[in-house]
Structure 1
Amino acid sequence: MASHKVLVIDDSAVIRNMVRDMLPKGNFEVLEAKDGVQGITLVQQERPTLIMLDFLLPRMSGWEVYQKIQEQPELQSIPLVLMSGRKEEVTEKLTEPFEYFEFVQKPFDQRQLIAAIKASMSKAKRRPGVVTTSTSTGDANAEVAQLKAQVARLQTEMAALKKQQAQILAFIKQKLMNK
């Protein structure tokens, strides 16, 4: 029995299948929506435990889906991972730091996906109005979770920078060898 219901809203079947394949087997029931209208309908009907939302969608954009979710307090507490190949499109509408959702840049690998999911769950718990136990231990745990999410995000950024550096180095080597 799946313990988490994940809704993947993306117009690319490749991305939807990739997310399904990257999630640990048996723990997740994956629901799919190919556009924003279908996505918001499934959010309201299914009440998933996690939403993975592409920012550029047909019929209703990811931005519009995000706004609809924010209009409904009972949906705001659902952890959200925004996905896009161009982060600047997201930051045009939503300024960083992303306080109540996580962002993952396409293409992403399994480690980046899992880190984004964990960070989104942590951020959703910190959202005002979300019912959590509030004790000094709870506050310390929330702070530790926040720091862990920040470390995970920094590790993801470092990995991306290392990858870019390796690509630049390979490009330079190739150009030097062609001289």
Structure 2
Amino acid sequence: MAERILAVDDEENIRELLKYNLEKEDYQVILASRGDQVFDILDKEDIDLIILDLMLPGIDGLSLCKEIKSDDKFNRLPIIMLTARTEEIDRVVGLEMGADDYVSKPFSMRELIARVKAVLRRTREFQGTVQEAEIISSGKLSINLTSHQAIFDDKVIELTPKEYELIKLLLQNPERFFTRDNLLNKIWGYDYYGDTRTVDVHIRRIRKKISPEIIKTIRGVGYKFVALE
């Protein structure tokens, strides 16, 4: 069954361009022109990925991304942000809100499709991993490798797929420092088109959700897991 993509953009020519090219890649495409249409569509349709413009009428893309990622029903739905802005802060804020990737307008359709395929592949791998029930732990942090749950200080921590994979990798290698490039390649893959600031954003989010001290930074070296007793 073809994967279904929701493309949300207020420019009709962009919507039609996305629909035409994504359908050529055998995806099913649903279109929306306003941010306030999205949750109605998500309630009615099974969506595998959202392509979301930053500037939208009704509700802007950043606010909508935050709402989706805060909703227990849809928070694992991958989102690729589209933005006409070039400032780094807009890209970083999008990642902070939970976006899985971003593409700046004007964009190459070939690049966008490559990103769509990479995000969907990572999502499938995360959702389809079948393992024996196993828990790894250190200090106050435990990770269930079957349910993909993280528990810190007896509380379940809601993590996105990449946050989970990132903290799992660090927890499984407690004495090892990873550079940003190491983490980018291991978690996002060699075909990822982003940069190492993506790693920094996800590390900040993990620290905010779990503990500021859970990951140690060594300037010029990288990141390392720290067990908190």
State the distance in 1 between where 2:51 and 2:38 align: 10
Q: Look up the match of 2:20.
A: 21
Tell me, yes or no, if structure 1 residue 147 matches structure 2 residue 202.
no
Q: Look up the match of 1:8.
A: 7
* Equivalent pairs, count: 146
State the distance in 2 between where 1:87 and 1:153 align: 14
Using the TM superposition, give the Cα deviation of residue 125 of structure 1 relative to its aligned residue in structure 2, in angstroms. Answer: 5.7
Q: Look up the match of 1:93.
A: 93
Using the TM superposition, give the Cα deviation of residue 86 of structure 1 relative to its aligned residue in structure 2, in angstroms. Answer: 0.8
- More strand as a share of residues: 2
Structure 2 matches for 1:62-77, cutoff 5 A? 62-77=61-76
> What secondary structure sits across from 2:13 in the alignment?
helix
> What secondary structure sits across from 2:52 in the alignment?
strand
State the distance in 2 between where 1:16 and 1:52 align: 10
Is residue 115–residue 153 contact of structure 1 (8 Å, CA) maintained in 2?
A: no
State the distance in 1 between where 2:31 and 2:95 align: 27
Using the TM superposition, give the Cα deviation of residue 149 of structure 1 relative to its aligned residue in structure 2, in angstroms. Answer: 3.6
Q: Look up the match of 1:133.
A: 130
Q: TM-score, normalised by structure 2?
A: 0.53
Cα 1:11–1:50 change in 2 (3 A) is same
Is residue 65–residue 99 contact of structure 2 (8 Å, CA) maintained in 1?
A: no
Amino acid at match of 2:130: T
% identical equivalent positions: 24
Q: Look up the match of 2:159.
A: none
Tell me, yes or no, if structure 1 residue 37 matches structure 2 residue 79.
no
Using the TM superposition, give the Cα deviation of residue 43 of structure 1 relative to its aligned residue in structure 2, in angstroms. Answer: 2.2
Using the TM superposition, give the Cα deviation of residue 14 of structure 1 relative to its aligned residue in structure 2, in angstroms. Answer: 0.8
Q: TM-score, normalised by structure 1?
A: 0.66
Cα 1:37–1:57 change in 2 (3 A) is same
Amino acid at match of 1:25: K
> What secondary structure sits across from 1:68 in the alignment?
helix
Tell me, yes or no, if structure 1 residue 121 matches structure 2 residue 163.
no
